[in-house]
Homo-oligomer: A and B are copies of this chain.
Amino acid sequence: MYLNIQKEIGSSLIKQIYEQVRSMIIKGELKAHERLSSTREMAINLNVSRNTVITAYEMLIAEGYIKSVPGSGIFISQGAEFAKPPERIIDYSVTAFSAKELSEDIIGFHSGTPALDLFPRNKWSRIAGQVIKEAPDSAFGYDYPQGRPELRNTLAAYLKKTRGINICPEQIIVTTGAKQGLSLVAKLLLQPGSEALIEDPSNENVKKIFLFHTDRITPIEADSEGIRPELFPQDRSPALVFVTPSHQFPLGGVLSIQRRLDLIRYAGKTGCYIVEDDYDSEFRYRGLPISSLQELDNERVIYIGTFSKTLFPSVRLGYIVLPDSLVEQCSELKRLMDHHTNSLNQLTLMRFIENGELERHIRRMKKIYRKRRNSLIECINEYFPGKVRIMGETAGMHIVAEFTDVEFSPKLMKSIEGVGLKIFPVEEHAVIKGKHRHQIILGYAHLNNTDIRNGILRLKEVLD
Pick from B58, B80, B139, B340: contact of A316, CB below 8 A. B340
Pick from B99, B125, B128, B208: contact of A336, CB below 8 A. B208
**Cβ contacts under 8 Å, A15 to chain B:** 288
Question: What string of 1s and 0s marks CB contacts (under 8 Å) between A136-147 and chain B?
Answer: 111111111000
**Given contacts A88-B168, A98-B149, A296-B82, A257 and B64 within 8 Å (CB-CB):** yes
Find out whether the CB atom of B92 lies under 8 angstroms from the CB atom of A157: yes
Pick from B90, B102, B180, B315: contact of A156, CB below 8 A. B90
Find out whether the CB atom of B99 lies under 8 angstroms from the CB atom of A148: yes
Rounded to whole angstroms, the CA-CA distance of A364 and B192 in the bound complex is: 50
**Given contacts A87-B166, A153-B96, A314 and B337 within 8 Å (CB-CB):** no
Is A298 an interface position by the 8 A CB rule? yes
**Cβ contacts under 8 Å, A338 to chain B:** 175-177, 179-180, 183, 316, 338
Find out whether the CB atom of B18 lies under 8 angstroms from the CB atom of A80: no
Is A434 an interface position by the 8 A CB rule? no
Question: What string of 1s and 0s marks CB contacts (under 8 Å) between A113-127 and chain B?
Answer: 100110101101110
Number of contacting residues on A, CB 8 A?
A: 119
Pick from B59, B142, B152, B315: contact of A287, CB below 8 A. B59
Instruction: Write the nearest CB–CB distance from A6 to chain B, whole angstroms.
Output: 15
Is A374 an interface position by the 8 A CB rule? no
Rounded to whole angstroms, the CA-CA distance of A102 and B141 in the bound complex is: 11
**Cβ contacts under 8 Å, A18 to chain B:** 287-288
- Minimum CB distance partner of A253 in chain B: B62
**Given contacts A116-B140, A316-B341, A261 and B63 within 8 Å (CB-CB):** no
Is A370 an interface position by the 8 A CB rule? no
A residues near B (Cβ < 8 Å) are 12, 14-15, 18-19, 22, 25-26, 55-56, 58-59, 62-65, 77-80, 82, 84-85, 87-88, 90, 92-94, 96-102, 112-113, 116-117, 119, 121-122, 124-126, 128-129, 132-133, 136-144, 148-150, 152-154, 156-157, 160, 164, 166-169, 175-177, 179-180, 183, 187, 192, 205, 208-209, 212, 225, 254, 256-259, 261, 264, 286-288, 290-291, 296, 298, 308, 312-316, 336-345, 354, 394, 446
Give 7 CB contacts A-B under 8 Å: A55-B286, A62-B287, A82-B296, A94-B153, A99-B148, A179-B337, A337-B337
